[in-house]
């Protein structure tokens, strides 16, 4: 268990926070603190009430950038580790409090939609606004953010930007990094920074990218401005195809994308993964799902290109209403989270995922090598009830592979992570790196892929670690996230 570096004890931290923000902003209830010590990486242990890691001293709820600045100033002066959160849907340990007496700073009370501008096509929201709420608000005005991660009902704007999240319509609208126009963030020591909203600029490196994806390890995002697009669902055209082989489906998508078409949804499911979603119709084959969207003539042209592409390839057509209904029920709200908890308790089983990315030329090799390595090397392969993958976000140069695995747990709940989750994750991550791909496509590094962060970035690692040293010189921001916990892991010394 890693000790705090702060000279303050828990009581003094709570007292200082109560004086700084008022009692209404400070939570010290036992259950709340335990739950705040983990995220969904430890969903199996937490559903069994096991919280073995350090429990935070308090959760605080700032209501303004000034409050956040005061907390970060206090943290830096007193060497208190800060773990930021908003929607709390993180899956990679980013919310875990790995040092004793950490302070969880929860931005969810900063939940105002500041403005919706249908002329300059931007919306500004505070970090604690749920994406679903922002999207509903702009849709009422005939607009959309274009962002639709599966966690849309729960995830909030701060966390979505902090993790470089991506949604189901990414091939058309991009990831969050393509959507953010400007933002406000607070840095350690209390420095409030606003990156202004401009269509584009060449005023040095793009400083938005210091903030986007920082996972709470560099700064606290207080407000975000995102682009808006016209919302025209009446033009949507839904397509589904069964193909014999996963590689055939990926190749069809590659041809479509590299020819210049941008269907909003672009997904290929391996047969094992397809069985979870389309059990009644997949017949042991892979499933390709595409949606053409946008202005009518563009949606029609994209639809025609999809028809032409598949006319030249062996396939069986899936009814488009079925695809539309399936997509409309893909997201996860609290109801599905609760059902998953009940299922884990009742059946000692679990589903998890690891998402990576790779160039087109190596997608098939990566898919097969991960599948065969897990089947042959994973000591508990016999406990796997499902192992498959899908490609769900495609680019001119390649795509992501989202590996999904379900297993029954034939060990104590406490051992689940070491026996199952970590070894499976390690095989997928190391294979992606071996193929020259990225070890993480959109969930963030969190605390469980830090072992590979140097390998991920290679000679560019010094850029990343220099940011940490420059912006968080006392190392109080989310210890163990992005950078491994051991001392010196973020040393910037080694310039290439």
Task: Give the residue with the Cβ less far from ligand FAD, 82 or 309.
Answer: 82
Does position 452 interact with ligand FAD (CB under 6 A)? The reply is no
Binding residue for ligand FAD, selected from 443, 449, 465, 475, defined by CB under 6 A? 443
Contacting ligand FAD within 456-495 (CB under 6 A)? 478, 481
Does position 221 interact with ligand FAD (CB under 6 A)? The reply is yes
Stretch that binds ligand FAD, among 10-18, 82-90, 265-273, 418-426 (CB under 6 A): 82-90
Does position 162 interact with ligand FAD (CB under 6 A)? The reply is yes
Stretch that binds ligand FAD, among 28-36, 87-95, 225-233, 261-269 (CB under 6 A): 87-95
Least CB distance to ligand FAD at residue 190 (A): 15
Interatomic CA distance for residues 57 and 472, integer angstroms: 21
Task: Give the residue with the Cβ less far from ligand FAD, 116 or 132.
Answer: 132
Stretch that binds ligand FAD, among 4-12, 368-376, 436-444, 467-475 (CB under 6 A): 436-444
Least CB distance to ligand FAD at residue 447 (A): 9
Does position 149 interact with ligand FAD (CB under 6 A)? The reply is yes
Least CB distance to ligand FAD at residue 418 (A): 22
Least CB distance to ligand FAD at residue 220 (A): 5
Task: Give the residue with the Cβ less far from ligand FAD, 55 or 95.
Answer: 95
Task: Give the residue with the Cβ less far from ligand FAD, 208 or 373.
Answer: 208
Least CB distance to ligand FAD at residue 80 (A): 15
Contacting ligand FAD within 16-55 (CB under 6 A)? 40
Does position 271 interact with ligand FAD (CB under 6 A)? The reply is no
Distance of CA 384 to the CA centre of its chain: 24
Total residues at the site for ligand FAD (CB under 6 A)? 37
Least CB distance to ligand FAD at residue 216 (A): 3
Least CB distance to ligand FAD at residue 133 (A): 12
Does position 303 interact with ligand FAD (CB under 6 A)? The reply is no
Residues that bind ligand FAD (CB under 6 A): 40, 83-91, 94-95, 107, 127, 149-151, 155-156, 158-160, 162-163, 165-167, 215-216, 220-221, 332, 442-444, 478, 481
């Amino acid at each position: 268990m890693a000790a705090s570096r702060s000279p303050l004890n828990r009581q003094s931290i709570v007292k200082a926070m109560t004086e700084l923000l008022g009692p209404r902003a400070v939570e010290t209830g036992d259950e709340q603190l335990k739950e705040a010590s983990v995220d969904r990486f430890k969903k199996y242990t937490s559903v069994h009430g096991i919280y073995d890691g350090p429990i935070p001293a308090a959760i605080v709820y700032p209501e303004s950038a000034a409050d956040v600045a005061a907390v970060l100033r206090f943290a830096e002066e007193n060497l208190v580790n800060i773990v930021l959160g908003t929607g709390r849907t993180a899956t990679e340990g980013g919310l875990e409090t790995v040092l004793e007496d950490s302070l969880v700073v929860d931005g969810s009370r900063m939940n105002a939609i500041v403005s919706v501008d249908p002329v300059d096509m931007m919306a500004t929201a505070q970090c604690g606004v749920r994406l679903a709420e922002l999207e509903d608000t702009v849709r009422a005005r005939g607009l959309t953010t274009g962002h639709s991660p599966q966690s849309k009902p729960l995830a909030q704007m701060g966390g979505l930007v902090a993790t470089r999240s991506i949604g189901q319509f990414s091939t058309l609208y991009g990831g969050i990094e393509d959507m953010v126009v400007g933002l406000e963030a607070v840095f350690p020591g209390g420095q409030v920074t606003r990156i202004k909203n401009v269509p584009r600029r060449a005023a040095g490196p793009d400083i938005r990218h210091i903030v986007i994806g920082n996972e709470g390890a560099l700064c606290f995002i207080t407000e975000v401005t995102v682009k808006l697009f016209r919302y025209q669902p009446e033009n949507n055209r839904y397509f589904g195809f069964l193909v014999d082989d996963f590689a055939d489906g990926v190749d069809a998508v590659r041809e479509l994308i590299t020819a210049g078409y941008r269907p909003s949804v672009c997904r290929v499911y391996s047969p094992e993964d397809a069985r979870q979603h389309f059990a009644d119709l997949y017949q042991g084959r892979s499933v390709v799902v595409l949606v053409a969207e946008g202005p009518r003539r563009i949606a029609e042209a994209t639809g025609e290109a999809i028809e032409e592409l598949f006319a030249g390839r062996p396939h069986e057509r899936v009814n488009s209403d079925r695809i539309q209904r399936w997509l409309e029920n893909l997201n996860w709200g609290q109801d599905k989270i609760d059902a998953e908890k009940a299922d884990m308790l009742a059946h000692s089983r679990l589903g998890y995922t690891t998402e990576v990315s790779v160039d087109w030329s190596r997608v098939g090799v990566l898919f097969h090598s991960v599948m065969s390595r897990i089947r042959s090397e994973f000591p508990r392969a016999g406990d796997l009830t499902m192992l498959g993958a899908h490609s769900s976000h495609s680019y001119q140069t390649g795509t992501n592979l989202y590996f999904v695995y379900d297993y029954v747990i034939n060990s104590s709940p406490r051992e689940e992570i070491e026996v199952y989750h970590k070894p499976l994750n390690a095989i997928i991550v190391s294979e992606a790196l071996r193929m020259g791909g990225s070890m993480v496509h959109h969930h963030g590094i969190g605390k469980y892929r830090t072992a590979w962060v140097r390998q991920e970035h290679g000679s560019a690692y010094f850029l990343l670690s220099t940011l940490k040293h420059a912006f968080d010189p006392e190392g109080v921001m989310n210890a163990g996230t992005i950078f491994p916990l051991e001392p010196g892991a973020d040393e910037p010394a080694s310039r290439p």
